[in-house]
Amino acid sequence: MPARQGGTEFRSLVYDPPAMRKPSFPAVFQNPLSAIGFLTAVVALGIGAALLAVHYLEDRHNPYFGIFLFLVVPAFLLVGILLIPLGAWRERRRRRRGDVDARRWPAIDLNLGPHRTVAALFLVGAVLVIIFSGVASYSAYHYTESVAFCGETCHEVMEPEHTTYKNSPHARVACAECHIGSGADWFVKSKISGAYQVYAVLRGNFPRPVPTPIESLRPARQTCEQCHWPGKVFGSTLKRFRHSLYDEASTEWPIDVLIKTGGNEPASGEESGIHWHMNLGVEVDYVARDSGRQEIPWVQVRDLATGRTAVYQDREKPLTAEELAAASPRRMDCVDCHNRPSHIYPSPDEAIDLAFRDGSLPRSLPSIKEHAVEAMAVEYATRTDAMDGIASRIADAYRKEHAEVWEQDRAKVDHAILRVQKAYGESIFPEMKTSWVAHPDNLGHFVSKGCMRCHDGNHVSESGVVLSNDCRTCHTILAQGSGERRAIANSSAGLDFDHPEDIGDMWQETGCWECHTGTRP
């Protein structure tokens, strides 16, 4: 502004803005879309900050809390931030078309108070957004790999896996440790795969049961062997199998077995036993006819020391030349035998034996195993139907066949019903069609074929060598039976198997799984 001093006119050296209009927020940002974006971002940031504080102050949360905090709120924040420049871009285009008079770029002058205010707000907002986005992104990364996210978010789909996981030997190992492992590449692969799974859940067209084995599962060498050291060879392991009979007393029939765990490490002197298959001294490849890898007609064994290779084919159902040419052999690893390390679905027979073992089911009730297994083995449509059916079937059995117990010891029967219902709820999931039948356990050969997929006595090499199915190859029976039939080995050769019921030599000619299907034989 002009001024006079001593009659002389001069202009101030301080910048004097044009007086034609009052300076304000850059005009292109003054539009409805940018205003909505700004409001959305501010609200999302405020809600996110509040929820983040709750997240770190509280110990336990609903699984959907994390989804809202780490996925939904940041999404709204990002949308709001993107709407601000989008609105400005649209406003600038509108002004260029001549709707209003506008300069090419908005004038920003920090000498002006309003402009300084806007710049300060922008810088403070940017810092807050960066901090919140960083914390949210880091927390979202960990949350999407948490047990709560994997097991509880999609409750209906993952209920069988989450329930059995909590009762498994790996209950304190996070899902992602086995299903994803470390490293960014498998993390990205899992998220790409998970995108379709989310879509399937939203559409309701996910498979029932969830198919296994998982085709894209990371190799066991990169997951299992991070904790289970393959080079640590064990000679043998003592294990007691505690079966119960289907007689009135539900008699326990224990079998003490020395399992030849072994290994295949020449330096340790152990080159035999079950863990011979661990690909330390040999490489085992196989071809399965079915997606569940339960029918294996072709096996190849390569000795890493000598380079010699032997191929064993099922002589009853060998692969044709066309089938073999089209096949993609799989390299055997841990999960081919330990295929249910965390999601174990015991059969009714095994589930009731477990209940006897922990003392929660009274063996003193007459024929309780028979009645319990028969009630669990019925194919129910829903969990509610199963709970009602188990209660009514067991109650009817005692009311009709054991009237004295029903009248005098009703409380014990009611307790048994609750325990059988619990066993069903932890192992059978009718809505997802998931049970021991859908997911057989390959560790052993009692209820499912397991080891005998290859060691059935039918796999023969071109030179006539047969993959052995001799019981003593993998284990030695040290003691078996109960009462007067209890027998204890008096030599390292162990005992011949003694079937609880007299079936002659049938047990040598028939696989256990062919009679013991998980219910009463």
* 62 three-state secondary structure: coil
Are 519 and 348 in contact, with CB atoms under 8 Å apart?
yes
Tell me if 128 is assigned to some domain. yes
Residues 56, 82 within the same domain: yes
Q: What pLDDT shows up at residue 66? A: 66
Residue with token string 């030179």: 463
Report if residue 213 sits inside a domain: no
Instruction: Give me the domain span that covers residue 199.
Output: 147-206
Per-residue model confidence as pLDDT tens digits over 450-505: 999 999 999 999 999 999 888 888 899 999 999 999 999 999 889 999 999 988 88
CB atoms within 10 A of CB 394: 23
Domain boundary among 405, 432, 459: 432
Going residue by residue through the chain (521 aa), what tens digit of pLDDT does each one get? 444 444 444 444 444 444 444 445 566 777 888 888 888 888 887 777 777 777 677 665 555 566 667 677 778 888 888 888 888 888 777 777 766 554 455 567 778 887 788 788 878 877 777 777 677 666 777 777 788 888 887 778 899 999 999 999 999 998 888 888 877 677 777 777 777 887 888 888 889 999 998 877 888 888 888 888 877 777 788 999 999 999 999 999 999 999 988 876 666 555 678 888 887 788 999 999 999 999 999 999 999 889 999 999 999 999 998 999 999 999 999 999 999 999 999 999 999 999 999 999 999 999 999 999 999 999 999 999 999 999 999 999 999 999 999 999 999 999 999 999 999 999 999 999 999 999 999 999 999 999 999 999 999 999 999 998 888 888 999 999 999 999 999 998 899 999 999 888 888 888 899 999 999 98
* Dist. CA 83–CA 34, nearest whole Å: 6
- The reply to whether 402 and 510 lie within a common domain is no
Same domain, 362 and 324: no
Q: Is residue 223 part of a domain?
A: no
Q: Three-class SS of residue 199?
A: helix
**Given this model, what pLDDT does residue 264 score?**
65
Residue that is last in its domain, among 415, 432, 449? 432
- Domain assignment present for residue 20? The answer is no
Same domain, 117 and 46: yes
Q: Is the whole-model pTM more than 0.85?
A: no
Asked whether 382 and 430 are in contact (CB, 8 A), the reply is yes
Reference 478, options 465, 496, 466; nearest CA is: 496
HSE-CB at 238 with a 13 A cutoff on CA atoms is 5
Is 330 part of a structural domain of the chain?
A: yes
pLDDT for 4-34, tens place per residue? 444 444 444 444 444 444 445 566 777 888 8
**Distance (Å, whole) CA 468 – CA 489:** 23
Statement to judge: residues 497 and 427 lie in one domain: no
Q: What is the pLDDT of residue 7?
A: 45
Distance CA 443, CA 341 (A): 9
Number of domains within the chain: 4
472 with 458, same domain: the answer is yes
- Which residues make Cβ contacts (< 8 Å) with residue 48, sequence separation at least 6? 69, 73, 74, 77, 132, 136
Name residue, tokens 């036993």: 273
What is the pLDDT at residue 452?
94
226 within a domain of the structure (yes/no) = no
Q: How far apart are CA 442 and CA 339, in angstroms?
A: 6
pLDDT score of 91: 79
Domain boundary residue, one of 89, 112, 143: 143
| 211 lies in some domain | no
Residues 132 and 152 grouped into a single domain: no
Q: In angstroms, rounded to a whole number, what is the distance separating the alpha carbons of residues 205 and 202? A: 8
- Tell me the CA distances in angstroms from 195 to 132, 189, 316, 372, one per residue in order: 25, 10, 43, 42
Based on the domain organization, do 335 and 406 belong to the same domain?
no
Instruction: Answer yes or no: do 42 and 134 share one domain.
Output: yes
For 370-426, give the secondary structure using H, E and C.
HHHHHHHHCCCCCHHHHHHHHHHHHHHHHHHHCHHHHHHCHHHHHHHHHHHHHHHHC
Q: CA 32 → CA 24, 57, 108, 181, 443, distances in Å? A: 17, 38, 21, 47, 65
Shared domain check, 288 and 151: no
Q: Tell me which amino acid residue 152 is.
A: E
Query: In Å, what is the CA distance from 469 to each residue of 381, 474, 496, 504?
Result: 39, 9, 14, 19
Same domain, yes or no: 178 and 246: no
| Domain-located, residue 328 | yes
Cβ partners under 8 Å of residue 471, min gap 6: 477, 497
Based on the domain organization, do 337 and 463 belong to the same domain?
A: yes
